[in-house]
Structure 1
Amino acid sequence: MEQSFATIIDGVGEDLTRDGLLDTPKRAAKAMQFLTRGYQQSVEEVVNGALFESDANEMVLVSNIELYSMCEHHMLPFIGKCHVGYIPNGKVLGLSKIARIVDVFARRLQIQENLTSQIAQSIMDITGAEGVGVIIEAKHMCMMMRGVEKQNSQMRTSSLLGSFRSDEKTRHEFLALVRPR
C-alpha cells in the first residue's frame, strides 16, 4: 500500500524526495488502514457478549452517533451521524456496542444506502429485537469537493425493520424522536 501511495503522489506530479513528502506514503498507508479497519472487525467481536437479559420492551434510542466512512466510488470521506432505535425482545445490547457496530460497517468502503441497511440488519440479528430503525444523515466530500461542488448538500437514508416497518405508531415515534430540534 505504501508503494501505491508513492505512485499516486508521483502521478500527480509531486517530488517524493521533497522534505514534506518523504514519509507521506508510509503515513498515508497507515491512515488508510485505520480508516478501513472495519474489514478487520466483526460484529460478534465488537459486541463481545454484551447482550443482557431485560424486561424492557419500550423503544431504546441512541442518537447522534458520529460516523466517518469512505465512499466506495471515489474513496473520499462522508461524515455524519447515525440514529439507532430498537424495541428489545428480552435482551438489550450494551450501549457502547451500538456505536461500535456503526463503526464496523462505516470503516469500510461504502455507500450510505448499504451502510444504513447493514447496521439495521446486524442489530436485528444480534438482539432478536421486535424492530429496528436506523437513520443516517451525512455530507459527502465527493459532492462537496469535486463534481457538482454543493457545499450544503446532505443525504439522509433509513432502514426500518420489523415493527418499525409494519407498525405505523412505532415508525412515527421513532421518526419524531430523531427529528432535529
Structure 2
Amino acid sequence: MSDSTNGKKIDHARVKALTTELLEALGEDPTREGLVETPRRIADFWREFIEYDTGKIDTTFDAVKHNQMVAVTGMKVWSMCEHHMLPFWCDVSIAYIAEDKVLGLSKFARIAHKHAHKLTLQEQLVSDIANELKDILGTENIAVMAKGEHLCMTMRGIKTPHRMISTALSGKFHQSEQRMEFLRMIDAGI
C-alpha cells in the first residue's frame, strides 16, 4: 500500500506551456540550445515534487516499554514556500512518548517528506507532521521541531542567511520536563 502526498496530479503539458511563456516574458528565447528542454525539465520537477510517493507511512509495532520518549533528529527535507514558490530546507526532529505502539523508524522521514512535498509554510509543515503522527500513534504526546533556511529571504528581499525555528508541541510536551528532555535529545543528535 502506498500513501500519496495529497493525491494531486499536475498538468504536465500546461506547466511546460506556462514555462515557455515565462521564459518569453523574461526576455529569453525558449528555442535556444540551453533552454529548449527547460520547460520539460521544469514540468518534470513539479511532477516529481507534487506527486511524490511516500510509500507506506503507518507501520507500527506494540510498545515494548510505555512512557518512553522516542526521537529521530536531523532529517533534512526540502519544501517550497507558498508565498514566493522558492525552496526552503528544514532539519526536522520528531519525538513522541510511546503508549501502546511505536512507529517504524523509516516512517518518521516518510511523514516529514510527505508534508514537505507541497507549497507550504514551515509553521504549517511542523503542524501537519505532528497531526499525522497523532493520528497514526493515537497519542497527543508529540513534538516536532524544524530548523530551516528559506531562499525567499536568503536570495531575495533582505538577502540574509538565517535559521527559522518552529515547533509543534502537544500533550506531555507542554510540560517543562518533557519539553527540556526533547530539546536535550535534539542537541545530542546533531
CA contact 1:65–1:83 (8 Å) conserved in 2: yes
Question: What is the deviation of 1:33?
Answer: 1.5
C-alpha distance in 1 between matches for 2:65 and 2:150: 37
Alpha-carbon shift at residue 126 of structure 1 (Å)? 0.6
Q: Distance in 2 between matches of 1:116 and 1:100?
A: 14
Q: Distance in 2 between matches of 1:37 and 1:169?
A: 40
Which residue in the other structure is 2:177 paired with? 169
Tell me the SS of whatever aligns to 1:146: coil
Listed as ranges, the matches of 1:1-181 within 5 Å are: 1-38=15-52, 46-47=56-57, 49-57=58-66, 58-129=68-139, 131-151=141-161, 153-165=162-174, 167-179=175-187
Compute the displacement of 1:84 (Å): 0.3
d(CA) in 2 for partners of 1:146, 1:131: 38
Structure 2 residues without counterparts, runs of 5 or longer: 1-14
d(CA) in 2 for partners of 1:59, 1:9: 51
Q: Which amino acid aligns with 1:23?
A: E
Q: Distance in 1 between matches of 2:140 and 2:113?
A: 23
User: Is contact 1:46–1:101 with CA below 8 Å preserved after alignment?
Assistant: no
RMSD: 1.6
1:148 is displaced (CA, Å) by 0.5
TM-score, structure 2 normalization: 0.86
TM-fit CA distance, 1:130: 5.1
Specify the code of the residue in structure 2 equivalent to 1:4.
Answer: L
Q: How many residues matched? A: 174
Per-residue CA distance 1:4-43 (angstroms, 9 max, x = gap) = 11111111110011011111101110011212235x76xx
> Structure 2 vs 1, CA of residues 89 and 128 (structure 1 numbering), >3 Å: closer, same or farther?
same
What is the percent sequence identity of the aligned residues?
Answer: 37
Greater share of residues in helix: 1
State the distance in 2 between where 1:77 and 1:56 align. 40
Length-normalised TM-score, structure 1 = 0.91
Q: Structure 1, residues 71-100: CA drift from partner, whole Å, max 9, x if none?
A: 000000001210000011110111001100
Listed as ranges, the gaps of 5+ residues in structure 1 are: none
